[in-house]
Chains A and B, each alone.
Chain A
């Protein structure tokens, strides 16, 4: 295997020290570059636009000997169960999907978190039916907020590359051991070329160590072999209710414990510019790039606008957002979806949330010209909604 020619290194070395070079590549190619370094044992694919190309390229890595096993599953529900079975047996996995595929697979996501599986997967977000759409839209993130999964939102191909790699180290911490979804806006990032600094040294992430799992690895090598005393969750008594409830609380606690590991790589879970401005834009994903363009236009007109980029949606940077917005007079939250899930999150976090303008929102594949953000900021309210 060609992968054997890469030296195993720590996640810290991989992300902070390994030699990098700038390449002009698509978001899909950035996924391939990340998986090349991630030392993945098993990757399972299923086609859906705009995700497919990423998993084609991961398939190439398998053919080239950098991923040990790879196949196309029968549907997304099955694929998510297949990677679950593999993760339970103690190997590192990767998969990706989006939109309708995410919904087809849905029952698996809370099961992954509840089973404490350190699965890393990418979501190249897309709208959901009906009517049929293949276009970028982040609505699926709204549905996934309470699955127990860690959710990172990439703004560009560089974020996508770095987030996939750091996700493995965060997911595999004993005190975390949860799935991580790396979300990226389909087409806008996957199908455009950008400058990405990728690792060029002959190194890869050190292998997954199943003995670090807080749950017994299902391999008949890791006692106890009878690790469940009763099918407690199905009994109708208070002990079984309490067992389920405390288990769920522990999943959420584990997710919040991931924060310090995420911060090691991401700095803060938010990134701020122009912190003192009275007008603040809060955004995630490519909406951040649009916000930057809008801020530039406004600056030329003498209007100062701050930008708060949220990198981690789960865990949500509650304290950071409270602090960052304490003096803001107007808060604008542009989003690529109908639900406005980010605006709802922020509204439930800060005081005096009537400072928030919920929007602009575009969906169904529409682009978000910076001018509409500018207009919302100037009018202080939504137009035409």
Chain B
């Protein structure tokens, strides 16, 4: 989009909501922000209804500052806690159904390529672990098999948080949660490995407790998806409400579990993606 599109008509300006004026005036669409810009530029996420200490909310903020080109980015979400926050974001985003996010993103990306052949439009999927690895797994995988040029980001709180803490495929083996009264009977799905073998050119598993790595993996993933192929980022966002931990300690849990080796961190870059990122240089940092 061009800047003139967002500039409010002076005659109508007084009727626009303050957040909208702020988004336009306070550089929310500024390109190439750093995560250090959080709290300085106008953020794309307004006040949100997620719980105090929610790690998903924090990682969403980090993702939004990491967008290399927010003014031409479209977000596709799914039902779950994240859909409550995405409705508050100042970027076009879609909520349609639970689990169909990668299918919607496929159609959207192809349509934008038809309508804007000479323009980069980044399509970024953001959904929960249940949406990505359980109910929507077929569509997640098929979008990768087809090599759709989209970025898939999973908020991995290892649980169906929004419906009250039920087991998901991403819940660790043995954990007792709702609908797994005797503990989960099988291992956490190894999505990063599956993403790699399914054709993703960039794959990362990171923790929200490391803002810099969230920021850089999201940025790399979106850049690689533009030119090379599908990409996947999995962000560890333990849920204070369902884990019954204090809000102030949620981020510490995100840090500790990684330190204790309970949440594997990883990064994979395909040779083509590596080459491409190298040529981009600073932009991809």
Contact = CB atoms under 8 A, between A and B. Distances in A.
Contacts of A91: 111, 114-115
A292 to B, nearest CB: 41
A8 interface: no
Interface in B89-105: 89-97, 100, 103-105
Interface in B108-133: 108-116, 121
Contacts of B40: none
Interface residues of B, number: 47
B226 interface: no
Contacts of B72: 220
Contacts, number: 138
Given A75-B138, A111-B97, A218-B92, A82 B5 contact: no
B20 interface: yes
Nearest to B112: A89
B6 A81 contact: no
Contact of A89 (B84, B89, B111): B111
B49 A231 contact: yes
A68 B107 contact: no
Q: Of residues B19, B71, B110, B112, which shows the largest number of chain A Cβ atoms within 10 Å of its Cβ?
A: B110
B139 A78 contact: yes
A302 interface: no
Contacts of B114: 41-42, 68-69, 91
Given A82-B104, A85-B107, A220-B73, A74 B139 contact: yes
Contacts of A216: 92
A88 B112 CA distance: 10
B106 A85 contact: yes
A328 interface: no
- Grouping DSSP codes into helix (H, G, I), strand (E, B) and loop, the A interface class, with mixed when no group exceeds half, is loop
Contacts of B104: 81-82, 84-85, 88
B222 interface: no
B23 A89 contact: no
A88 B108 contact: yes
Given A42-B111, A85-B76, A220 B1 contact: yes
B127 to A, nearest CB: 13
Interface string B134-145: 000011001000
A82 B138 CA distance: 13
A210 B88 CA distance: 24
A343 to B, nearest CB: 33
A219 B83 CA distance: 19
A301 interface: no
Interface stretch (A144-152, A222-230, A313-321, A363-371): A222-230
A18 B84 CA distance: 50
Contacts of A175: none
A221 B1 contact: yes
A118 to B, nearest CB: 13
Interface string A71-115: 101110111011111111111010000000000000110010001
Given A41-B111, A219-B116, 5 more contacts: A41-B114, A69-B113, A78-B103, A219-B92, A226-B88
Interface of B: 1, 5-6, 17, 19-20, 23, 46, 49, 71-74, 76, 83-84, 87-97, 100, 103-116, 121, 138-139, 142, 146
11 contacts: A44-B107, A78-B138, A85-B106, A86-B108, A91-B115, A108-B96, A221-B1, A221-B5, A226-B90, A226-B91, A230-B49
